[in-house]
Copies of this chain bind each other. A is one copy, B any other.
Amino acid sequence: MARAGVTPERLTLAAADLADEIGFDNVTVSALARGFGVKDASLYSHVKNAQELRTRVAVLALAELADRVAAALAGRAGKDALVAFADAYRDYARQHPGRYAAAQEQLDPETLAASAARRHSEMTRAILRGYRLSEPDQTDAIRLLHSTFHGYVSLEAAGGFRHNPRDADISWSRSLDALDIALRNWPATP
């Protein structure tokens, strides 16, 4: 009997792929085991429990997303950077809905610190350099941007825009124009 060759890494990758196919919530240890031609109990030699598996997928997704955003951001500034960041973010979420959903998992502080989360916030801050905002406006703007990106992508994935024929790509582009305007005319600190 040949061994199945299961490792935590291959398991995580398989879970991520499966999540993109059938949805992150539908990824089960049993389904993964079936995919590897192995009994479900066998996977617990490689992974502590189902929660750890979810966490691993989340960390993977955060790192992949950070890579994409970094690549998109390279050599750009100002509105160019804003649009590149936003598009990279949205494209990732659309191409990898399961991974993106995983990235929304609540991570415990130490896992979070070891993840790509810091890169994410650094890159978001990098966008704002073109808009000459200083703290605490910068933090407020980051929160606005992150909220809008995440919200748009979530609603789009949930089919929230389907009932109106207006193209979601166009609304996205116009929303980015509007955010650019908001950033360039950032309200004065009261």
Contacts and interface: CB of A to CB of B under 8 A. Distances in A.
Interface of A: 104, 106, 136-137, 139-141, 143-144, 146-152, 154-155, 158-161, 164, 166, 168, 170-171, 174-175, 177-179, 181-183, 185-187
A182 B177 CA distance: 9
B170 A140 contact: yes
Contacts of A147: 147-148, 151-152, 154-155, 175
B158 A104 contact: yes
Given A136-B166, A177-B187, A187-B178, A143 B158 contact: no
Given A182-B178, A187-B181, A166 B151 contact: no
Nearest to A137: B174
A137 B139 CA distance: 28
Contacts of A187: 174, 177-178, 181
A158 B166 CA distance: 31
A139 B164 CA distance: 8
B159 A106 contact: yes
Contacts of A174: 137, 140, 144, 187
A143 B136 contact: no
A171 B143 contact: yes
A144 B140 contact: no
Contacts of A171: 139-140, 143-144
A171 B147 CA distance: 11
Contacts of A152: 143-144, 147, 151
Contact of A140 (B154, B159, B160, B166): B166
Given A141-B178, A147-B175, 4 more contacts: A139-B164, A140-B166, A147-B154, A181-B181
